[in-house]
Each structure stands twice: as structure tokens, then as C-alpha cells.
Amino acid sequence: MKILNESLIKRFMKLTLGLIAVVAISSSSNAQGDPAKGEGLFKANCAACHFPDKNMTGPALKGARQRWIDNSSEENFYAWVKNSQSVIAAGDPYANQLFNDWGKSVMTAQAVNNDEIDHIFAYIEAYAPKEATPPPTGGPVPSGGVKEETSSTFWWILGGVLLLVIGAVGGVRSQLQSLQRKQAGEVVEEDASVFQSARKWAWKNRGFVGIATVFTVILLLALGMKDLAQIGVFEDYKPEQPIAYSHELHAGEMGIDCKYCHNAVTKSKHATIPTVNVCMNCHRVVHEGQNEAGTAEIAKIHEAAGYDATTNSYSGETKPIKWVKVHNLPDHVYFNHSQHVEVGGIDCKQCHGNMKKETVGRVMTTEDLNNVGVTDEDYDENKVKFTKPTLTMGWCIECHRASSVDLASAPEGSYYNMIHERLLKDRTTYERYLEDDMVTVAELGGLECAKCHY
């Protein structure tokens, strides 16, 4: 049972990694191997089951070549990587001992040649683990709020400086005045308290003080309005999550498809957050993270799944992981993922930015969304450029005005297909729509209130 499950997982891991694998065909015959070339090869072919320096599904690979030279031969070492089962079948004692020690789990045959194996092991031998990074802790913190705070602090400081300047100017002025009066022979109260002289000064300059007061009140009101306008805007919101999960590691480095975890995204309104079982598909085998902090985070998954890593058994006592929802549309708004992803053919990136570079979920800023893919060779200049904050009504509308609909995209017989067919028959409307060379979502009714509001 255990072996069956593990080999399934491994097959899956290989599949996902295989999808992103670009196997560089190297022509050099450098016997030492090139660590730079080896890194890509290792990640594409071996990283699903091996770490360079610790055990995972398979053993730590540092020193493996030497172990083969000592216990078997270098020739068998190459043969093993290419097809481990053949070396076991040939009766090599070291190979058979390995196989037994690792619970008879099969290392799948690898499509690599000897040069590539040299590159891989050059990388493995040169590998040094990354510095430990402590996981984030504490409750949800909207990072947007932090930004706000800095900007209002700025205003407070500016206000303070302004008052000081006014005070200083006033002070200098009254000093000059009293000097003038002294010279003119008037009697001046020398020892008036600060408060008294301030009052006197304010009274003398009542015109100015009046204007300054009105100005300050207006400024405060304006600041208040600015805060009010921020209600319902969640840009850059990135709450702390109960587990320091990383999209960069899983979707980026390991290349796991977004839809493997957010598996309802093409079929339903919701993209959904994966259950702990999805994590356990791999984390039943992968117990160690990149460092101690990572391992502690994985232990939280085990706890939620009621899994005991030491005995490899489930207690049956599960508790849900309380992921904090990041994107929140109000209840009166209807948004449907499958409509956009499946029918509209829109990439997650358009609305969620480059999640392959993020740790946990974050509501992207307008700038993040506009910058996605700018440096890519195949960057699409006609991509929708946003000006309105993400998730606001203006944001949805902006995209519906700018996006064209591929009339051939909707599945045969579907509701959208019917709308499209009807339009194709109505040539006058169709041609009017086509004046800008495209039929936009807006033209098909994407601005109608009832489409988005219950």
C-alpha cells in the first residue's frame, strides 16, 4: 500500500516537473561537469525526489558517485541513474541493498546521458544550502494599511513643521515690533508669559490666524475624504497565513500548475483553496523543508491532517487549516472564474499578477498587474492597462471596455455560443461593433448592472 502510494506521488511529481522541464542538450564532453548546466537538469529531473544534502523520497545525492565507486563501480553509477531497475536486475549487491533500504521504491528511469549526469553531480557537489529565513508570525496585517500610515505620518510632520515656521515668523515679527516700540520710547511688558504673548500675537494677527484655521480644517477634511475613498480598496492586501506556504517555491521553482491546487477554477465560480489532502499528496513523503523553519511549517500540515510522521499513520483527528481569505468582493457582486478563465481564456496573471514570485496570496496593485510580463520577449503590447484599483468596479469595467471577445471561443451549444451566433447573424450590429476591429465585452453587455450585481 505504502509503496503504491509513494510511486503514484512520484509519478505525479515527475509529470508536473516533466512539463516544465527543458532538458538542455549539452554537446560539451567536460568530464568534471558544469554546475551551472547541472542546476537546471537537477531541478527538472531529480529535484522531485532528491535533495542534494538531505534525504527525501530518495537519498541525499552528495557523495553518491563516491559511494558507487567504493561499493560497486562508476560504470554502474551512470547505469543506475539512467535505469536503476536494470542494475538491480543485474544483481549488483549495492544496488539491491539501496533498493531494499529505501523501501523498494522505484527510481524511475532518467532520460539523461553521461555528460548530463556529470553536470548534475557537479551542481550537487557544489551545492550549499540557503540561509535560514524565519517564517512570518502574528495576526493578519493589511500591508495597505501600513502604506497609508506612512503617508498620514508625512502629513502630520508637514503640518507640524508649518506650525513651527508660522510660530517662528510670528515670534521674530513681534520681537522686531517690540524693539521698534522701545526705540520709539513706549513701555513694553518684558516678562509676559509665553501663553500671554501667544494670545496677544494671535489677536494682533487675527486675519492671518483665521485663514490658517480655515486652511487646517480643510486639510484635515481632505485627509478624511482620502481615507473614506480607500474603503473597499484592498490593493496590496496580504494577510499573514497560518502556514508559511510559498507560491514561489511550489508554483515557481517546482512548476506545479495553478489548477492542481485551485482545481475548481475552470469549472465553477470559485477558484477554491486546496484542502489539506492536496498538500498531503506530497507532504506525506516530503517531511523536510529547506531549513528548520520550513520543516516546522510542514509539521503544521501534518498536524492539520492528523498525520504522525514518525509512524507514518493517520490518527483520524483532522482540523482545517484556517487560511485567511485575501480577495473579497462584496456580497452584491457576482464574479465567475470559469467565465473568465475558461470562456474568456484569460490567464490568472491578468488579475492576480505573477504569483510565481509571491509567497502567500496578495491583492496586486495596478502597477503590479501592468508590469506582468513587460520584460518577456513575447510581451503583448495590447494587454489591458489598468488605472483603477484592483477589485473595484472601475477595474472590472475598464477591462470589459478594453477586452475583445473571441466569438469562436465559447463551447458549442453553450449560452455564450448562442449569444455569439445571434450576433453573427445580425450583420449591422456586428459591423458597428467591429468598427474598432474587435467585439468588446462591453459591447456584448458586459457593462450592464445586472450582469455583475445580484
**How near is the Cβ of 138 to ligand HEC at its closest, in Å?**
16
**How near is the Cβ of 116 to ligand HEC at its closest, in Å?**
8
One-letter amino acid for residue 219 of the chain: L
Output the CA torsion 151→153→157→160 (10° steps).
120
How far is 438 from 404, CA to CA, in rounded Å?
A: 6
Instruction: State yes or no: residue 356 binds ligand HEC (CB under 6 A).
Output: yes
Q: Which is nearer to ligand HEC, 290 or 318 (CB)?
A: 290
Q: Which is nearer to ligand HEC, 45 or 303 (CB)?
A: 45
Cβ within 8 Å of residue 414, ≥6 positions away: 343
Contact positions with ligand HEC (CB under 6 A) in 162-201? none
Window 33-52: contact mask with ligand HEC (x via CB under 6 A): ------------xx-xxx--
- Produce one character per residue of 106-122: b if its CB has 16 or more CB atoms within 10 Å, e if not: ebbebebebbbbbbbbb
Cβ within 8 Å of residue 50, ≥6 positions away: 42, 56, 57, 58, 59, 60, 61
Q: Which is nearer to ligand HEC, 112 or 201 (CB)?
A: 112
Q: Which is nearer to ligand HEC, 209 or 248 (CB)?
A: 248
Instruction: Note whether 54 and 288 are within 8 A (CB).
Output: yes
**How near is the Cβ of 231 to ligand HEC at its closest, in Å?**
8
Contact positions with ligand HEC (CB under 6 A) in 103-122? 105-108, 110, 112, 120
Owner of C-alpha cell 508570525: 137
**How near is the Cβ of 379 to ligand HEC at its closest, in Å?**
16
One-letter amino acid for residue 81 of the chain: V
Which residue, 130, 134, 157, is CA-closest to 51? 130
Q: Which is nearer to ligand HEC, 65 or 170 (CB)?
A: 65
Instruction: Note whether 117 and 81 are within 8 A (CB).
Output: yes
Q: Which of 212, 223, 309, 393 is close enough to bind ligand HEC by CB under 6 A?
A: 393
Q: Which is nearer to ligand HEC, 200 or 226 (CB)?
A: 226
**How near is the Cβ of 206 to ligand HEC at its closest, in Å?**
43
Cβ within 8 Å of residue 285, ≥6 positions away: 6, 9, 56, 57
Contact positions with ligand HEC (CB under 6 A) in 283-302? 283, 286, 289-290, 294, 297-298, 301
- Contact region for ligand HEC (CB under 6 A) — 63-71, 173-181, 192-200, 214-222? 63-71
Q: Which of 122, 343, 372, 439 is close enough to bind ligand HEC by CB under 6 A?
A: 343
Q: Which of 78, 127, 155, 416 is close enough to bind ligand HEC by CB under 6 A?
A: 416
**How near is the Cβ of 317 to ligand HEC at its closest, in Å?**
19
**How near is the Cβ of 154 to ligand HEC at its closest, in Å?**
25
Instruction: State yes or no: residue 72 binds ligand HEC (CB under 6 A).
Output: no
Contact positions with ligand HEC (CB under 6 A) in 76-95? 80-81, 84
How far is 123 from 41, CA to CA, in rounded Å?
A: 9
Instruction: State yes or no: residue 273 binds ligand HEC (CB under 6 A).
Output: yes
Angle CA 164–169–173, to nearest 5: 145
One-letter amino acid for residue 223 of the chain: L
Q: Which of 79, 122, 305, 452 is close enough to bind ligand HEC by CB under 6 A?
A: 452
How far is 294 from 306, CA to CA, in rounded Å?
A: 19
Instruction: Note whether 324 and 253 are within 8 A (CB).
Output: no
Q: Which of 166, 278, 309, 438 is close enough to bind ligand HEC by CB under 6 A?
A: 278
Cell of 339: 467565465
Contact positions with ligand HEC (CB under 6 A) in 213-272? 232, 241, 243-247, 249-251, 256, 258-262, 265, 270-272
Q: Which of 40, 159, 171, 446 is close enough to bind ligand HEC by CB under 6 A?
A: 446
- Contact region for ligand HEC (CB under 6 A) — 24-32, 167-175, 184-192, 441-449? 441-449
Instruction: State yes or no: residue 126 binds ligand HEC (CB under 6 A).
Output: no
Q: Which is nearer to ligand HEC, 170 or 405 (CB)?
A: 405
Rg (CA), the chain: 33
Which residue, 89, 64, 84, 83, is CA-closest to 74? 64
* Number of residues engaging ligand HEC in binding (CB under 6 A): 110
**How near is the Cβ of 115 to ligand HEC at its closest, in Å?**
12
Terminal-to-terminal C-alpha distance of the chain: 50
Which residue, 353, 378, 375, is CA-closest to 363? 353
Contact positions with ligand HEC (CB under 6 A) in 306-325? 323, 325
Instruction: Note whether 64 and 72 are within 8 A (CB).
Output: no
